[in-house]
């Protein structure tokens, strides 16, 4: 079942692992979403300055600019997009990551996640 009202919705996936990026791309485009991939926060920052996105799926640990730094930038420059962020991480045990996830109060997907978990998180975030 495709996402309701997905037509025209744009998602920015910030992910440095090519396999996970491809899974996100395939899963979300099959839902009728337009998906762009950024390999790190610096690339994402540039992309957000040039194009509007409805949702941002952000890996917390990326090179050059990590997801936490990107989120702080989005809160300052693009608060609407920051309010529609979902985080992904393979490190939910680290104290500073746990504190960030708790303090941000944003949804997150622990890696590895399934396509179904990804679809459910995106549906919920776009449904708000």
Looking up tokens 């992309």 gives 47
Considering the segment(s) 10-127 as one domain, its CATH architecture is: 3-Layer(aba) Sandwich (3.40)
- The Cα–Cα gap between 74 and 53 comes to 12
122, 28 Cβ separation under 8 angstroms: yes
pLDDT of 58-89, one tens digit each?
Answer: 999 999 999 999 999 999 999 999 999 999 99
Tell me the whole-structure pTM to 2 decimals.
0.93
- Distance between CA atoms of residues 64 and 40, nearest Å: 6
Break the chain into its structural domains and give their ranges. 10-127
């Amino acid at each position: 079942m495709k996402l309701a009202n997905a037509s025209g919705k744009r998602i920015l996936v910030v992910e440095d692992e090519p396999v996970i990026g491809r899974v996100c791309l395939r899963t979300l485009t099959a839902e009728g979403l337009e998906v762009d991939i950024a390999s790190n926060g610096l690339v994402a920052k540039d992309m957000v300055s040039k194009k509007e996105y409805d949702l941002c799926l952000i890996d917390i640990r990326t090179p050059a600019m990590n997801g936490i730094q990107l989120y702080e930038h989005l809160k300052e420059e693009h608060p609407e997009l920051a309010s529609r962020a979902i985080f992904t991480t393979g490190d939910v045990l680290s104290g500073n990551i746990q504190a960030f996830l708790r303090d941000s109060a944003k949804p997150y997907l622990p890696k590895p996640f399934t396509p179904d978990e990804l679809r459910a998180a995106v549906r919920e975030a776009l449904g708000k």
